[in-house]
Structure 1
Amino acid sequence: MIDEEENPVAVGFIDGQNLFMQAKRLFGYRTPNFDPFTLHREICEVAGFVPGAVRFYTGMPSARRQPRWHAFWRNKTQAMERIGVNVTTRPLRYRKRSIFDDDGDVEFMVQAEEKGIDIRIALDLVRMARRACLTDGPQ
Structure 2
Amino acid sequence: MDSALYTAVLPASRLDELFARLPRRCAPLRRLIDARAESGIESLFRLAARQEGWSVAVQVSITGVGRVDLVINGWLVIEVDGDRWHSTPEQRARDRTREAELVRRGMRSHRFDYNQVMSDIDGCIGVVRTLLAAGHP
TM range (shorter): 0.3 to 0.5
Q: Which has the higher strand share?
A: 1
- Higher relative CO (Cα under 8 Å, sequence separation at least 6) belongs to 1
